[in-house]
Chains A and B, each alone.
Chain A
Amino acid sequence: MEAALTWYQSSAVASAVGDSPTITAVLSAFHALGFTFIMGGALFANLGKLGVLFPARPVHETAGPGSRLIALGLVLSVPTGLLLFGPRAVNAAHNSTFQLKLLLILAASAVQFGLLRRGTRAVGALGLTLWIGLALTACAFILLE
């Protein structure tokens, strides 16, 4: 693992990102846009599931579009995040806040795409908690890095 991280950090891609403030800025901009879509989708889908937003409407009317916006957010933020991770791969991988962030992305995505449509309201509460936890952890990573 350590060797893979060191290889990635010293790769041409990571160097290109690390050496160019413009590339870093563009990647960060699309990473933030992805974050915004994920948060918007998570609130809409899970508050819909909980019956807070549109209690008279079937769950699929909020869960479906919400999950699609989250998927779009992940498509934007995961590749840009991987590229932003490159220049600091070794340090970031050992950062416990970053590790928690990755764990929450996986857990929240599993709940969102695997359980939300069929599950009970408790699944909506769990999903919302995981996505909010991810947002707070992402912010904490900025703070503590």
Chain B
Amino acid sequence: MTLLQICEWLESTRLAELVTQSTYGFPIVVAIHLLGLGLSVGTVIWFDLRLLGRILTATPVSEVYRRLAPFMVTGFMVMFGSGAVIFTGYAAAAYKNPYFRVKLAMLVLAGLNAAIFHVYTQRRLAGWDSWSQPPASARAAGAISIVSWVVVVLAGRMMSYTMF
């Protein structure tokens, strides 16, 4: 089964039908997706700015993360959950859309960046937790995160206007 066939199968499911056929189904899920976006990307950006040494420089990086994490996690759960529902309804069209591929590539980059940060950079966090300017590897992680999420937002909106 090819990826396109999987996408076509997704479009034939009951969930896809709910998204595409009901009067308010699609706009409701899009609205939830946008609220999740505001909460997730809108808060992750603050952790990235702390990694870049631009805000709260007297507060340890670990504390900034701990205080923002509940908002980031909730936002990402809402955003990914609603995004998956929207994708189910228009999977084949999204599969063929170049902006969706850019968005997916940036999501992978953001995910890899976060994973590398948590596995390698954060391992030595105790040594630089209170530094106002974190080490270059942490600053790079913050910069890559901001750029990738900005592109995700832009490509996501572009895709919704070029898919149909």
Range of interface residues on B (Cβ < 8 Å): 35 or more
In the complex, which of the residues B28, B67, B155, B157 has the most CB atoms of chain A within 10 Å of its own CB atom?
A: B157
| A135: Cβ under 8 A from any B Cβ | yes
Whether A36 lies near B41 (C-beta < 8 A) is yes
- B158 — which chain A residues lie within 8 A by C-beta? 25-26, 28-29
Task: Kindly specify which of A100-108, A111-119, A120-128, A137-145 makes contact with the partner chain.
Answer: A137-145
Whether A29 lies near B157 (C-beta < 8 A) is yes
Whether A53 lies near B68 (C-beta < 8 A) is yes
Query: What does DSSP make chain A's interface, helix, strand, loop or mixed?
Result: helix
Whether B161 lies near A35 (C-beta < 8 A) is no
| B43: Cβ under 8 A from any A Cβ | yes
A28-57: CB near B (< 8 Å → 1, else 0) gives 111111011111111110000000011011
Whether A142 lies near B56 (C-beta < 8 A) is no
Whether B58 lies near A40 (C-beta < 8 A) is no
CA distance A26 to B58 in the complex (A): 39
| B156: Cβ under 8 A from any A Cβ | yes
Q: A73: nearest residue on chain B (CB-CB)?
A: B42
CA distance A102 to B56 in the complex (A): 32
Given A24-B161, A53-B67, residue A143 in contact with residue B58 (CB < 8 A): no
Whether B30 lies near A135 (C-beta < 8 A) is no
Given A21-B161, A36-B41, A40-B43, residue A143 in contact with residue B35 (CB < 8 A): no
- B24 — which chain A residues lie within 8 A by C-beta? 143
- B38 — which chain A residues lie within 8 A by C-beta? 35-36, 38-40, 135
